[in-house]
Every structure is written in structure tokens, then in C-alpha cells.
Chains A and B, each alone.
Chain A
């Protein structure tokens, strides 16, 4: 089945130790998003890619970076995780940005729960 896959599902890292989360998709969607979600809160958009074009949210800390080497994969790098970065990280995709009905719907992966010790 076509889907959005995130690995690992759980990640433990140490304070200040770089960590990378990965997302892959078999939907062949042009747009990929990374969200941070803290307990019982709405997801917060960190950035998104339209194809290879990177779009950062204004309030996303510099500590968060992203790479998209090809259509299928997207990575979230946290350069120096702090205790406040412990959260669920959600990857999502949407088909395109044409405004045509259906293109805009986002499909989410299962998330990676990050624990910072």
C-alpha cells in the first residue's frame, strides 16, 4: 500500500547529540512537511519542501534542518537537541500545490517520538 513511513518510531538521544529522523513516501507526492507535536497539542509546522524547494517557517529554530535528496525521502536533522525538543515529529505529504481539489490533502506518517536525556 502506498504510504508515508517514518523511521525510527522511537528515538532516544542525549542532550546536545545530533539526531536525524527519516521519512519516506511511496505516494510520489511533490510536497513533504515536517511537524513537531507536543503532548495534547496541535501539530506545529517546522518546514516543507515543494519538490526541492525548501520553505522554512519563520519561527522554526535554527537547530532544525532538513534535507530532501529525492522525491521519496526527507530527513529532519536536529543539530543540538535540547530537553524542549522532546516531542512527536510527524512527516506528511501532499500531492501538489496546484490548488486543484485533492492536491492539497495531507497524508501523515505514524510519527517518531523523540526523547532527549
Chain B
């Protein structure tokens, strides 16, 4: 069975600084997807970034980038130039490419951006 671990329950960062959220996972699958979702206090889950495991290149979306280390089963999220609007709960999620179409979520990291 797959598991996803986010070892940092809470983090804070100063506005304009860079922060990295960690995520590790355990799987015997070779083909899968990884995601980072953001859930602000208003509670709507928003996709931040996704990574296809067969792609070695790290995904990037504006200020958000990932460090995907497949062998180490690590999928960290880097937020550059942090903004107050980045304050949210961040969830890492795993999904096998075939079979069930279910996400395995981590327990989340609550990020607070300080002015």
C-alpha cells in the first residue's frame, strides 16, 4: 500500500523569502503522479503543481517548483518570493497511473507567511 508523509505539520516564512515543504512517499509502483494542493482558509483545494513520475524534469509553475527525487521517493515543494496569499494548508498527494483513481494524501503542512 502507498503512503505519503509530510513531516512538517506547521511552518512559517517571512514575506518574500523562500520556503520548502517536504513530502516523501512509499510505493512499489513505477508509474504514478504526484501533486501539491493548496487549501487556503476559505477551504477550496487548488492544484498548485503536478509531476509525472516518468518525467525526470522537475515541474515548475511560476513561483512554485518541485524537487522530485524518484529514487529517494521525495517530492518537495519550493515556494519562492513568498506572498501573504500563500498562507494555507498544503497537501501532497500520490496517485497510481493505473488501477484505482484515488489520491493518497499526506497529512498536510500548515504554512503561514509573515508580513
Question: Which A residues lie at the B interface, using CB under 8 A?
Answer: 31, 40-43, 45, 48, 50, 88, 90, 92, 94, 97, 99, 101, 104-111, 113
Contact = CB atoms under 8 A, between A and B. Distances in A.
Contact of B105 (A42, A50, A104): A42
Interface string B11-40: 000000000000000000000010101000
A88 B41 CA distance: 12
A105 B95 CA distance: 9
B56 interface: no
Chain A binding surface SS class? loop
B47 A40 contact: no
Contacts of B47: 105-107
Interface of B: 33, 35, 37, 42-47, 50, 52, 89, 91, 95, 97-98, 101-103, 105-108, 110
Contact of A42 (B42, B91, B97, B98): B91
A26 B34 CA distance: 25
A105 B107 contact: no
A15 B89 CA distance: 30
Contacts of B45: 43, 90, 92, 108
